[in-house]
């Protein structure tokens, strides 16, 4: 069965009291939350009322068949095995069905649910939904994942570069390149080339010697996000004459010097003296690049000056990079489906609050790799970085889990 088209058709109301005819009673501390997910008036739900006796029967199933992995009262102490306590009943039921049909595969779960009847699935789901949720655990991972902002880190590193490359990467010193308007890929490659000695420049080599890969990507991101401006340095030469010669460069460096190839630098607004020095370096081979060497071999000093003047006058543009989302910004997106702080109000969608951090990481990876199939989660998780996964898992593991009350009202 394809899970993406599977019909969500069940809402289990857990009635702990016999008098509860139309609403579900959840443990103390339950709160009603506004629904955050659009759904069609509930007509895709079929209400199944689980009585106290049904819940007790579900508990017996759990104690026989589930407790050794999922722990007493659904609080798991086994790495990789989720808490089930206070998870939404319809979600639990749907997942159990998914394991039975093979739509979701896990060798532990296959054996556990293979012989359970429909009735037992409903009752065990009702039982787990009705118990007190896990308390949030501040794990080591959660503490270690304290928010680190790559742009702020990049800004701190860039403070040591401003003396030569200018405030925010717009140079004011002839001979020093501007660093704004460049794709991070190019800047990172350039810094690595200095560090390894592949691009020869003793001063830059010593300046980046102490920086690691994370520093390179942070500082490159910082410069890429600064507002580009032309170098605040003089440019001699004849820009008009340079314009026609520049046609030969447009294929790689872009129309008007704004490159669209991440590994090829933009030339728009670049300092003219640095520009000339770079061409000279390609010519004499002190900066090694076969493509550029061939292209500039025929340029005389006049032509280089004119080209430099032309490019210096062009308006640099920001490269296509966006500030990465912080964990709080990501979580706000996840919460649209998973409820406030991961406390889902849609019975079909899992609560994430206070879930085990190792389990959250595991399933997010499984969605990313397509091992666990869900169109919604594939789209959400494929854009997450490894660090995002760790931080989001830690974020949800430390949220307080709250049960919800599903209120089913009579039509009239």
> Binders of ligand HEC among 157-216, rule CB under 6 A?
157, 160-161, 163-165, 176-177, 179, 187, 190-191, 201, 203-204, 207-208
Site residues for ligand HEC, window 327-386 (CB under 6 A)? 330, 333-334, 336-338, 349-350, 352, 360, 363-364, 372, 374, 376-377, 380
Site residues for ligand HEC, window 85-114 (CB under 6 A)? 87, 92, 95-96, 104, 106, 108-109, 112-113
141 forms part of the interface with ligand HEC (CB under 6 A): no
- Within 8 A by CB and 6+ apart from 25, the residues are 14, 15, 16, 17, 405
Site track 271-310 with ligand HEC (rule: CB under 6 A), x = hit: ----x-xxx-------x-x-xx--x-----------x---
| The binder of ligand HEC chosen from 71, 133, 237, 265 (CB under 6 A) | 265
Q: What is the nearest approach in angstroms of ligand HEC to the Cβ of residue 144?
A: 18
Between 305 and 372, name the residue whose CB sits nearer to ligand HEC.
Answer: 372
Between 52 and 204, name the residue whose CB sits nearer to ligand HEC.
Answer: 204
Between 18 and 356, name the residue whose CB sits nearer to ligand HEC.
Answer: 356
Between 26 and 253, name the residue whose CB sits nearer to ligand HEC.
Answer: 253
Q: What is the nearest approach in angstroms of ligand HEC to the Cβ of residue 64?
A: 8
Between 23 and 78, name the residue whose CB sits nearer to ligand HEC.
Answer: 78
Between 265 and 347, name the residue whose CB sits nearer to ligand HEC.
Answer: 265
Q: What is the nearest approach in angstroms of ligand HEC to the Cβ of residue 322?
A: 16
Q: What is the nearest approach in angstroms of ligand HEC to the Cβ of residue 291?
A: 5
Q: What is the nearest approach in angstroms of ligand HEC to the Cβ of residue 164?
A: 3
């Amino acid at each position: 069965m394809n899970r993406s088209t599977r019909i969500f058709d069940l809402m289990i109301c857990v009635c702990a009291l016999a008098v509860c005819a139309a609403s579900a009673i959840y443990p103390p501390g339950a709160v009603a939350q506004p629904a955050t997910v659009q759904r069609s008036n509930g007509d895709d739900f079929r209400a199944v009322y689980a009585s106290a006796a049904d819940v007790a029967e579900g508990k017996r199933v759990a104690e026989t068949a589930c407790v050794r992995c999922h722990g007493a009262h659904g609080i798991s102490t086994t790495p990789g095995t989720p808490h089930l306590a206070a998870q939404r009943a319809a979600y639990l039921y749907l997942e159990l069905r998914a394991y039975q049909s093979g739509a979701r595969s896990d060798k532990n779960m296959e054996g556990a649910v293979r012989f359970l009847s429909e009735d037992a699935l409903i009752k065990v789901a009702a039982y787990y939904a009705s118990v007190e949720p896990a308390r949030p655990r501040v794990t080591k991972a959660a503490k270690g994942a304290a928010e680190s902002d790559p742009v702020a880190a990049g800004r701190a590193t860039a403070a040591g570069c401003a003396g030569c490359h200018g405030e925010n990467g717009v140079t004011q010193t002839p001979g020093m390149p501007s660093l704004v308007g460049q794709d991070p890929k190019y800047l990172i490659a350039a810094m690595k080339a200095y560090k390894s000695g592949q691009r020869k420049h003793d001063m830059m080599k010593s300046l980046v010697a102490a920086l690691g890969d994370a520093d390179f990507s942070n500082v490159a991101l910082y410069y890429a996000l600064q507002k580009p401006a032309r170098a605040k340095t003089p440019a001699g030469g004849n820009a008009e004459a340079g314009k026609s010669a520049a046609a030969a460069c447009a294929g790689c460096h872009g129309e008007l010097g704004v490159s669209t190839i991440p590994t090829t630098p933009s030339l728009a607004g670049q300092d003219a003296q640095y520009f000339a020095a770079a061409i000279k370096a390609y010519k004499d081979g002190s900066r090694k690049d076969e493509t550029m060497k061939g292209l500039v071999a025929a340029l005389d000093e006049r032509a280089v000056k004119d080209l430099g003047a032309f490019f210096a006058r062009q308006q640099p543009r920001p490269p296509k990079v966006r500030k990465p989302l912080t964990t709080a910004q990501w979580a706000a997106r996840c919460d649209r489906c998973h409820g406030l702080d991961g406390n889902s109000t849609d019975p079909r969608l899992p609560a994430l609050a206070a879930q085990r951090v190792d389990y959250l990481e595991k399933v997010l990876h499984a969605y990313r790799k397509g091992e666990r199939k869900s169109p919604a989660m594939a789209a959400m998780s494929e854009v997450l970085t490894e660090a995002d996964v760790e931080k989001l898992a830690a974020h949800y593991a430390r949220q307080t889990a709250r049960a919800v009350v599903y209120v089913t009202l009579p039509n009239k």
